Amino acid sequence: MLRQVLAGASALALLAACGGDDVEIEDELVEADASVVEDAAIIPAEGNAEVDAFLAENAAMDGVTVTESGLQVETLEEGEGESPEATDVIRIEYEARFADGRLFDSSEANGAPVVLPSYEVLQLPGLIEAVPMMQEGERARFVLPPDLAFGEAGMPGGMVGPNEALIFDMTLVEVVDPEDEARLEELRAEEEARFEERRAAAMAEFEAMGQENAQASEAFLAETAAREGVETTESGLQYQVVEDAGDGESPAATDVVRVHYRGTLPSGEEFDSSYSRGQPATFPLNQVIPGWTEGVQLMDVGDTYRFFVPAGLAYGETGTPGGPIGPNQALIFDVELLGIEDAPEIETPELTQEAEPVD
């Protein structure tokens, strides 16, 4: 969550902002590393009364103090070092929980303390107030009322619901003077090494998934090709007529088609459906995956076909970034062709004057 609050910035990029060299980060890896939610089903607070009751109960516990803003502070382990200034680089470890104790973020996923160029990049008012109260080496628990966290709106994307109180267990591992170039260079090198290690691991995992999917897809398509009523085109696209409406109009690749469809993985898992949305889809036939462009041209208006699409005619070796379609993944589409529309004509502007002859 803190890394998402930082808009996906990595420690490498943050350190670069402190004077280091620019480091190129792959967006997919940063996004994949940013999510450490234990439970995807986020349950927002039911109302202020419940939150107020939790805050009142926690404030009454031994060792808890409440600041003027309403931030609740409990020192878990004393520190002996300096407190950070806004210009200092800091290293922190943290766990973030909802009021009911569910963990939704942790620095553990980083494999090391998170490095920030300033505590002010934390953005949440409660954390910006909390961190400069700490001393290097200190571990503390901070309870943020909603107005010091994400307030009435909650966190964009729904990870944190509206009017949630949040609990942060935080350790201030190190305070680094921004003028200490030697230490900053050490941190940059450590973060770069961790990033390269994570990238290599992610690439290896992705390649292994691609190989596994390729083998499974090949076996699946060999099985479907042998089914009664399944035809295979020269490209390798397989299709089966589910409902034949008779001799109607067939679309050209340049047409705009209106369809209902359902897309599933070979396992049967549905990943997309216009039926689920309750609304047909309309799109130019030459602007979709090759399996669709080829397959829908085989249909007449009113027909329903089932297509078994090899990865090479779908999303290929990359799949769809972030899912749900993996690399080298064969797909199944049930498509109902509802209608055909002519592609919109592109108007050519008329010349306002004749070109002057060239001598």
Q: Does the annotation count 289 as an active-site position?
A: yes
* C-alpha distances in Å from residue 99, one per residue of 95, 113, 144: 13, 24, 10
3-class state of residue 175 by DSSP: strand
Spatial CA neighbour of 310 closest among 209, 228, 232, 203: 232
Separation between Cα atoms, residue 308 and residue 230, nearest integer Å: 9
Spatial CA neighbour of 305 closest among 238, 224, 239: 239
Q: Are 143 and 164 in contact (CB under 8 A)?
A: no
Angle between helices 27-34 and 181-225 (to 10 degrees): 90
Annotated catalytic residue, options 303, 332, 333, 340: 333
At residue 170, what are phi and psi to the nearest 5 degrees? -130, 140
Separation between Cα atoms, residue 200 and residue 26, nearest integer Å: 12
Annotated catalytic residue, options 150, 220, 239, 261: 261
Spatial CA neighbour of 81 closest among 138, 140, 142: 138
Helix and strand numbers (H, E) in the chain are 8, 14
Q: Does the annotation count 333 as an active-site position?
A: yes
Q: Does the annotation count 43 as an active-site position?
A: no
Separation between Cα atoms, residue 93 and residue 101, nearest integer Å: 18
Q: Are 297 and 255 in contact (CB under 8 A)?
A: no
Annotated catalytic residue, options 169, 271, 300, 334: 271
Q: Does the annotation count 261 as an active-site position?
A: yes
Annotated catalytic residue, options 315, 325, 332, 340: 315
Indicate left, alpha or beta for 151 from its phi (over 0: left) and psi (-120 to 50: alpha).
left
> Which residues are identified as catalytic?
261, 271-272, 289, 315, 333
